[in-house]
Structure formats: C-alpha cells, structure tokens
Structure 1
Amino acid sequence: MGHRGEDETYRRIKARFWSEGMKKSVKKWVQSCLSCQKRSQNLQREQGKSTETSTIFERVGMDAFHIKSGRWKYMVVARDDFSGWPETVGLVKLTAKAVSEWFTSEWICRYGSPKEVTVDGGQSLEKNCKMQ
C-alpha cells in the first residue's frame, strides 16, 4: 500500500475490502512493517544501499497479511516503488500458485514484468510462497 502509514493504508484497503477488526489488523500490520517503521522514524537509509528507482513499474514490493473476512483469508498487496501505485487481491489460500497467477494476470499483463520484485521481509509470503 505504499508505506504511507496506518490511516492511509486503512483508507485504501477499506475502499475494496471490509472485515471485522480490520482497522486493528491494519494497525498491527503497519506496526510490524520494517519499511513503515523506518519511514515513520525518519531514519536515514543504510549507506551504500539505495532504494531509489527511476522508472515506473521497474521495482515492485509485495506483502501479504491475514484478514478476517467471510470470503477471504489473506490479502496480498503489490506496490510500485516509483509511483506508489498499489494493487490488491483477496485470497482464500496463500499459495505460490495463487499469488503468481494473480500477479501475472493483474500486474504483468497490464504493466509489464518488473526488473525486481521484493518482499518486505514478512513471514506470510516467504513462509507460504516459494516464488521463483
């Protein structure tokens, strides 16, 4: 969702999804996001590691988290690092196949293949999806 903080993340998710306790889940997710915490504390980037990108859809960050919804169990978020453009999907099961099919059909087919896809370091995607 762009590491834009709790309120903006909640607002954007709420536009497409709703579930009991969602605001609390979003708050917990933002608080557990290393990138959000670095941004909110205005920490300087590690020397020699640039996260700057110069082209739209060149680098995409992905993350997933549990949601409490009648239909969906997980939400996956992909966000372009340059523009901040987000795409989301609700999934019943968090599997490599489901994530890759969604990412291919909804991101790559529209915007092209990014040079790099990164995961925030959260365990949901890394644990459940071994993406190649």
Structure 2
Amino acid sequence: MGHRGRNETYRRVKERFWWEGMKEIVKKWAKPCKSFQKRSHYHKKEKGRISFTSTLFESVSIDAVHVNAGRWKYLVVARDDFSGLAETIGLVKLTAKSVSEWFNFEWICRYGAPKEVTVDGGPELGKELQHAVKNQVQRYG
C-alpha cells in the first residue's frame, strides 16, 4: 500500500476500519517504509562533507546508487570534488572488485591517482570498496 506518510495512511485506514490502538499501529507500520521516510520531515539529515581542495583531481568521491534502468541495477559515480567532473558506469552486479577496477581504468589511467578518495559507506560495499580503491591508488599513484 503506497502512502503519503503516516497521517494520510491513518486517515485512509480510519475511513474503512477501527480498532483499539489503531493510530499507534499505523504509525509503527509507516515508520520503516522508504516512501514515508523520503517524504517525512522527521528524519535526521545526513552530515555533509566539506571538501577543501584547490587542485583538479586531488580529491575524488565515489558513490553507488541502486537503479533499475534496463539491464543495469547500479549506477556508480566518481566525481572530482574541485571541478565537479564525473565519470559513471552502469553495473549489473555491484562488487568492490568491479568498482575498483573501473575506477583504475576510467579515472586513474586518465587523470592520475588522487591524493584522497572518499567512498560512500553504504551497505552495498562499505569498507571493502574503500580498501580496494585505496590499493589501486597506492599501486598506480
């Protein structure tokens, strides 16, 4: 049941049903829902990272996003923090090895090894990707 937050969901449920503690149960049910979290004003804001770089390709950020675009399931973006230049790749399967090899061939070989690489610490890759990219930078930098 797609919804527009707990209040709208509660309003819709209340039109058809009633039971003791219904409001609390709907509130609990809606809380972990991703569409609710996107619309919610109650979620915590992530702290941003400020980049202090004054040289091209000195600091690069890598992020992976889950998408459903044809055969691609993931979009990986490497972005220069100074210029905003970005390189992307679509992947069917997201692994630290595939991302670090892509970063080596598409970024390091083209622009050189950056001094700093920040990797999104998402659950898909986490520390594994950070170590793999660090090894690529040390090997070729």
Matches within 5 A, 1:43-122: 51-122=51-122
The 3-state SS of whatever aligns with 1:56 is coil
Using the size of structure 2 for normalisation, the TM-score is 0.55
Q: Which has the higher contact order (CA 8 A, sep 6+)?
A: 1
* Identity value in percent: 64
TM-score, scaled relative to structure 1:
0.59
Structure 2 residue 17 is matched with structure 1 residue 34:
no
d(CA) in 2 for partners of 1:115, 1:107: 13
Instruction: List runs of 5+ in structure 2 lacking aligned partners.
Output: 1-37, 39-43, 133-141
Note the aligned Cα RMSD (angstroms). Answer: 2.7
Runs of 4+ in 1 over 3 A off after TM superposition: 32-35, 127-130
Query: Is there any run of 5+ residues in structure 1 with no aligned partner, and where?
Result: 1-27, 39-44
For the 8 Å contact 2:60–2:80, the answer to whether it is kept is yes
**Relative to 1, partners in 2 of residues 1:70 and 1:33: Cα closer, same or farther, differing over 3 Å?**
farther
- Flag the 1:68–1:96 CA change in 2: closer, same or farther, 3 A: same
Q: Residue 117 of structure 2 aligns to a residue in which SS?
A: strand
What is the Cα deviation at residue 97 of structure 1? 1.1
Return the index of the structure with the highest Cα Rg.
2
Q: How many aligned positions are there?
A: 91
The alpha-carbon distance between structure 1 residues 52 and 87, as it changes in their structure 2 partners (threshold 3 A), is same
